[in-house]
Amino acid sequence: MRIALIVLLFTGLFSSIEVPDIEIKNEIKPTPSKVNDVSLIVEVKGNPKKHKKYIETYYPSIEVVATYDTLFYGLALKGRPERIEKITDLHFIKGIHPVQTYTTLTERAQNLFNNPTDFRQANVFIPSELNTTVYSGKGVKIGVVDTGIDFNHPDLKLNYRGGYDLVDLDDEPMETTEEEGMPTSHGTHVAGIAAANGKLLGVAPNASIYAYRALGPGGFGTSIQVIAAMEEAVKDGVEVMNLSLGNTVNGPDYPTSKAVNEAAKHGVAVVVANGNAGPTDWTVGAPATATSALSVGAYQPSSQIPYLYEPSTRRKIQLSPLTFSLSWDLTRDYQIVAAVNEKNVQGKIGLVKQMDKPVVDEVLKLRDDGAVAVIIYNIKPNNQEWLAGLQEANLDIPIAIISTKDGRWIDKHILEKDVYFKNEQQIRDGTIAPFSSRGPVTVNWMLKPDIIAPGVNILSTVPGGYDMLNGTSMASPHVAGAIAVIKEAKPDWTNEQIFGAIKTTAQQIRSEEGEVLEPIMQGAGLIDIASAIETDTIIMDPLLSFGKFGHHIDERTINITVENMSDESQNYYFEIPKKEKGLSWHLPKEFTVEAGEKKEIPVQLKVNTLELEKGIYQGWLQLNAGTKEFSLPYVFISETAEYPKVMGFTFQINQLDKDSYKYQMYIPEPVKSVQIQLYDPHSLVFEGTLAKWRNLDVGMNEGEIKRRNIKHRGKFHGIIVVQLENGEFVNYETEIILE
């Protein structure tokens, strides 16, 4: 997930032209179910079952596929577009919700394997490695809201118990196949991380899997499909729900975030991927922004990175070994030779440049001629079929990819003389994955993510085999499986206690220099299942979000609850933080919590904004109990920090009314106005103003503009010009297509 709006370094002339009579409505992008049919879900006022009967009676050509009355009141409808359009103005239809596109949160894929043991590299993370306990999630229901699931996969069919397809509206949530569109595998990978039980084991291999297909071809879906899938999961009685999906809206009150909070009220532990828009701040997207969500960032486990070193030039060349080749564990010096120029490759490393033709034949020849390893460069992203060919060849030598720049450098130097390279290994400590989205959240200024879990080089199930993927999508199901394990171990614990135990016992992640990484990067830290189960202290929500301070002197208090889970009384005390200009902490020096009891403790922060620079302030408070230490991350905002003032902007043709365009935008705080200026995408010559809005609501704003009110046509470079309450202007860029 990438944030769609990027700050520009220039401003244009501000036009005062406005498009009149902008009508604020809700919308949804219909999901085709047949060639001539569309499927959509509408929100209704009153009893959905009563409205279902009304539509069946007076609009028999429209099929009411399902009703929803748990997380929202609505109907799933199927029919021809012109017939569906006739009922959208019925008095009981509250709205057709915004078309906020949801996507899977995966960074990179490798290749399909028939057996998990085909992965030969040392840096692969197996989900079961996270669970070092004797518990396996037995008897716990995990709901996976995603792209569906290959319920015939041998590692999943044992635990698969059912679900629902919100794309095709049937009881078989199978992944999208090639015949249906762009195929998907994401949901199967996510489900395997949580609860695979076969050749590969998930974190909770004896938990039950329920799958809900909310994202269709290519891994895309709408907010209403996501909410409806969540509702189906709640009705099926799932105890843990995983959402490895998201959008660009960094706000807490988007409909999906509200649905997460509502699901939590129904007793469901909802785990959400934090997003893949890092390392920029303010990039966590809905529904990970929900107050009740356990939002998960991605951790990159420690690894060994092989590289080549040329002593005379001191050049380091990082290697990316292919996962299906032998491990790159070469220890001595080797000469590198170019495959196209050298006949004698015995005992040498072969260098191959990918051209338009496949490289399989060249690699095979190098292997047959005695090369000890092969490195490939000049990789073309749109031509990677050769990878499958190499995998099928089952070569018994190490094969690695290097950058095009490094490949050209080697090629040039080995033409001039014989060059020998040392083989070295660099140990990389575990850290936050660079793509992992960061907090905080706008409007309520919450600290997110709550926790981090492994999200890099994760091996799991996919249709037809196994694959290794990266993303917060992979981190989230580790936590969903962990919750199932803890529920089995501690059946009397509430979700609040489980969440508290996970955060209380998380391991802080430090930089290579030994500094603790920022809370908005890691939340409480890396999840530790065994420690969470064994803890004798639970701090309920130890992540301290003090909000935004805008007054000269302001004082705020957060009450934390400390629960003693042991059989003896425990004494606690805070380490007094170092004095900082503009900050003053008031913490209890010492307090006692009796065995099996809990106590509410005030944590008070006093801020003088005149002595602070604008921006994000964060750090850690330390609570001690004997020799045990508990770290409480905190965050607050001084005045106006540099977060986006408009998010999630979309502008597209209304699928139900081709004579109008639909727009939406999320506004995190009051603004005077927002306008969209159009520029020629090549010359950047100003073409005019598309629209200007005043009196926008804080939160999501949707509406429509009639095509007759738009005089421009074509593809434009759009500038979103926002005038803040203090009169300042900020600009963002987007793409505008006017058909």
Among residues 648, 696, 699, which one has the least CA distance to residue 252? 699
Residue 101 CA to chain centroid, in angstroms? Answer: 13
Structure tokens belonging to residue 559: 């009450």
Residue 54 CA to chain centroid, in angstroms? Answer: 40
457: left (phi over 0), alpha (psi -120 to 50) or beta: left
- Are 103 and 273 in contact by the 8 Å Cβ rule? The answer is no
Structure tokens belonging to residue 680: 């020629």
Among residues 455, 458, 464, 460, which one has the least CA distance to residue 174? 464
Residue found under tokens 């006949």:
343
Residue 591 CA to chain centroid, in angstroms? Answer: 39
DSSP 8-state class, residue 118:
G
Total Cβ atoms within 10 A of residue 576: 11
- How far the first Cα of the chain sits from its last, in Å, is 27
Catalytically annotated residues: 146, 186, 473
What is the distance between the alpha carbons of residues 96 and 608, in angstroms, rounded to a whole number? 46
Burial class (CB in 10 A: 0-12, 13-18, 19+), 556: middle
What is the distance between the alpha carbons of residues 254 and 66, in angstroms, rounded to a whole number? 23
SS3 532: helix
Q: Which residues contact 695 (CB under 8 A, 6 or more apart)?
A: none
Strand boundaries in 194-339, DSSP class E = 208-213, 220-221, 240-243, 245-246, 269-273, 294-300, 303-310, 315-318, 320-321, 334-338
Residue found under tokens 């090549």:
682
* Bridge pairing between strands 399-401 and 320-321: antiparallel
Strand boundaries in 264-325, DSSP class E = 269-273, 294-300, 303-310, 315-318, 320-321
Q: Which residues contact 368 (CB under 8 A, 6 or more apart)?
A: none
What is the distance between the alpha carbons of residues 438 and 296, in angstroms, rounded to a whole number? 10
SS3 333: coil
Residue 470 β-bridge partners:
108
> What angle in degrees, to the nearest 10, is found between the helix axes of 360-368 and 385-393?
30
- Are 503 and 542 in contact by the 8 Å Cβ rule? The answer is yes
Structure tokens belonging to residue 461: 């199930």
* Bridge pairing between strands 240-243 and 141-146: parallel
Among residues 193, 199, 197, which one has the least CA distance to residue 116? 199
Residue 479 CA to chain centroid, in angstroms? Answer: 13
Angle at 259 between CA 258 and CA 260, to 5 degrees: 90
Length of the chain: 739
What is the distance between the alpha carbons of residues 40 and 96, in angstroms, rounded to a whole number? 8
- Residue 447: in which H helix or E strand, if any? none
Peptide bond before residue 306 is cis, with ω within 30 degrees of 0:
no
Total Cβ atoms within 10 A of residue 330: 20
Q: Residue 186: what are its φ and ψ, rounded to 5°?
A: -60, -50
